[in-house]
Structure 1
């Protein structure tokens, strides 16, 4: 079991309840990363489902849970021959922290009937990409140590005061500990990059309000490519779409989230 597997483990208490322990290693300046929280909830939801894979997840982030004990409450809504629907709630100290609607199925590994092989943006080779500087120990940015991100340089111009002016973020992704990507790693990956609004000139914590992502295929071993973009920044809100491709270039996950523009 890898460190990430342990950090997202859900222990079954009864048919509808799972004990979890939220890991402080997945924090962003204090709050825990939303993708990490989804991975925790999905462990419980899939265990409660007759199918193996979380093919669609919609999460609403009600509060910012802290590291430590929590539980996941799962309600089975409907199950058919190929698809099951569940509701899952992350609860801490008696209060709901996150609500999820999860659709599960079992994906095969055969060739697609149709696939768009052209990503929305061609990444430079990894040797031309850059890492963000290590955060200061007092910053509470522990998430960085759990994964490796190599960024397309134009998308992190905000770091030196030269944002591109477009909401965008692109990077190669892999876990810091050797681990092939799986659906739970993909849940983390879709929310792993800095907010795309940074490249549009905004700064500060940008809390996610609602995030929906789809598992499109089981990823091949190796690094992932994350391509993020936004369409509108307006009235304190922005949207962010992320496309995830595996080491073979196949589309394996898609996400869209609505978030608040942070205050620097």
Structure 2
């Protein structure tokens, strides 16, 4: 099994051009996870930037990206002492699979919040949460990502959805890769669709997702809290907060997605 660092690596192939090999292990069926793709895009943006962290990423997904060779094109839009912005495109089979506007900056790992709102209610201890274990011999997403779910948000597994757009879980990568900007990119898109708790089943394709890196995460498990505000006309929103082992808010996201088809 290829580790997360190698699975998201990019190699420069020219000015603003990078090559990568997308790993099938970060997908379900043939569709690769959007957070995994954002990690790849973020690495290319940082590689082309004087700054160390992708602090703001707004990505539109055009089509399903599949395992195998792909290219990442980075087009600078602005470069300054505090931040730099680029348009970053994932290209596969000669067609764009995703376009992102990524702003990079350098965050101080020792910085303390000047003000912070109340933290969400804490997750139950790990041993009181539901773990989704990978099947024997599997090579998919649950084999790469370990999650322990708050049981109060998992009633849909037993045919008893809560009726609320919500999902909460502990998160870490199974290969021991410690949290950083790229692990946060996959964490904000790792939860099952919150619409499962309304009785919807199936794949819920993300159309647009924006996420912000708010701090450099501490080592250890990440707490991922997801909810939504509205499901209407075949569309729903999902917002996620990620908190690190030191109790700090380290990432935020909001996405617009399609309701799963029956």
TM bracket (short chain): over 0.9
RMSD between superposed Cα atoms in Å: 1.4
Residue of structure 1 in register with 2:220 after alignment: 222
Partner of 2:232: 234
Q: In the alignment, which residue of structure 1 is the partner of 2:159?
A: 161
Which one of the candidate residues 250, 253, 257 is aligned to 1:252? Answer: 250
Alignment of 1:173-252 (within 5 A): 173-252=171-250
Write out the 4+ residue segments of structure 1 that deviate beyond 4 Å after TM superposition.
none
Unaligned stretches of 5+ in structure 1? none
1:60 and 2:38 aligned: no
How far, CA to CA, are the matches of 1:246 and 1:38 in structure 2?
20
Distance change in 2, residues 1:113/1:60 (3 Å): same
Instruction: Write out aligned runs for 1:18-37 (5 A).
Output: 18-37=18-37
Equivalent position of 2:142 in the other structure: 144
Query: Is 1:17 paired with 2:17?
Result: yes
Paired positions, count = 260
8 Å CA contact 1:152–1:171 kept in 2: the answer is: yes
1:111 aligns with 2:112: yes
TM-score, scaled to structure 1: 0.95
Contact 2:5 2:177 in 1 (8 A): no
SS in 2 for 1:25: helix
Q: Is the CA contact 1:28–1:141 (under 8 Å) kept in the aligned structure 2?
A: no
Relative to the length of structure 2, the TM-score reads: 0.96
User: Which residue pairs with 2:77 in the alignment?
Assistant: 77
How far off its partner does 1:120 sit?
2.4
* Counterparts in 2 of 1:55 and 1:90: CA distance versus 1, 3 Å: same
What are the ranges of 5 or more consecutive residues in structure 2 without an aligned counterpart? none
Displacement after TM superposition at 1:174 (Å): 0.8
